[in-house]
């Protein structure tokens, strides 16, 4: 026997299978943690987008009211000039 071979531990097929399984288990755990963190970030962004959309809708409603107001002002001015 070679000196190096005598000091090396014999690794069986079961040992290798166990190592591979442990590696996949660690990867799955890390992936789940990363995915959970990423989903939390996405949920936060979605909430921000919802808030922004609500604010935009409110501003649009104000703008529509201003346009209607200006239109009515213009029509009243025309009527006042016509009947004055």
- The pLDDT tens digits of the residues spanning 6-27 come to 556 788 899 999 999 999 999 9
Copy the structure tokens of residue 71. Answer: 């239109």
- Tell me the mean pLDDT in the region 29-51: 91
Q: Please give the C-alpha separations between residue 80 and each of 50, 58, 66, 70, 77, in angstroms, as whole numbers.
A: 45, 33, 21, 15, 5
How much of the chain, in percent, has pLDDT values that exceed 90? Answer: 56
- Tell me the mean pLDDT in the region 46-52: 95
pTM (two decimals): 0.47
How many angstroms separate the CA atoms of 57 and 51, rounded?
A: 10
- Tell me the mean pLDDT in the region 27-43: 90
């Amino acid at each position: 026997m070679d000196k190096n071979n005598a000091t090396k531990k014999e690794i069986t097929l079961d040992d290798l299978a166990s190592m591979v399984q442990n590696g996949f288990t660690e990867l799955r755990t890390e992936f789940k943690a990363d995915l959970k963190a990423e989903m939390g970030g996405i949920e936060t962004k979605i909430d921000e987008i919802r808030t922004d959309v609500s604010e935009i809708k409110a501003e649009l409603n104000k703008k529509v009211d201003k346009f209607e107001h200006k239109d009515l002002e213009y029509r009243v001015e025309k009527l006042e000039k016509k009947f004055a």
